Amino acid sequence: MTVETEALTAATERLFASRGLRQVFAEDVMRFDLAGAEPPDVALPPGVRLGEWGSDIAGRFFAVYDASFRDRPGFPGWPAERWVAWTAGDDEFRPQWSLLATGVDGDDAGFITCAQGWIVQVGVVPAWRGRGLGAALVAEALRRMRATGAADALLDVNVNNPAGQLYTRLGFTLLGRRARFQRTVS
């Protein structure tokens, strides 16, 4: 038996536990209030430049996604065509807010993809982590969203992903927790 909730609370957790349900997945939905706050001012690491999504560089976005997410639990290992279709095929996809970061040596270092109202994915290849690139990509996407009058930006982050601390530091707040519980019926 599987039970899903879009708004986990301590009371729901107790209720599910009392029925023998075990949590198998949880992610936080976080929100940045674009109407109420300026996006944080985070500089790109020196020499890094950004390029907007285009079909000619979709393969490079995929390569950076693949290198960034392959160590995450549950990584699906999709081929490029599937990930590109999933990303750009969404009617709400916003190529102008979806950015590829490239270092001075020409190596792609990170990316962010966005849809209307959402940061969909952000990733930085392992060799580039911890230098502020993830924060700078999120801040730049927020600036672009705000410039078009968007009121807020949402994202999902697995509760086990330390990226949640980065989003909190940038000014995102918790909107709610989605979770899935299961009970094996014998």
Select the span of 15-23, 48-56, 85-93, 124-132 touching ligand COA (CB under 6 A): 124-132
The closest residue (CB) to ligand COA is 134
| Binding flag, residue 133, ligand COA (CB under 6 A) | yes
Phi, psi of 164 (to 5 degrees): -55, -35
Least distance in angstroms from the C-beta of 45 to ligand COA: 8
| Binding flag, residue 96, ligand COA (CB under 6 A) | no
- 110 within 8 A of 147, measured Cβ to Cβ: no
User: Rounded to whole angstroms, how far apart are CA atoms 178 and 158?
Assistant: 9
Contact residue for ligand COA among 123, 145, 171, 172 (CB under 6 A): 123
Contact residue for ligand COA among 31, 60, 131, 180 (CB under 6 A): 131
Query: Rule CB under 6 A: which of 134-173 touch ligand COA?
Result: 134-135, 157, 161-163, 165-166
Select the span of 11-19, 55-63, 121-129, 175-183 touching ligand COA (CB under 6 A): 121-129
Least distance in angstroms from the C-beta of 20 to ligand COA: 31
- Contact characters 9-48, ligand COA, x per CB under 6 A: ----------------------------------------
List contacts with ligand COA (CB under 6 A): 68-69, 72, 122-124, 129-135, 157, 161-163, 165-166
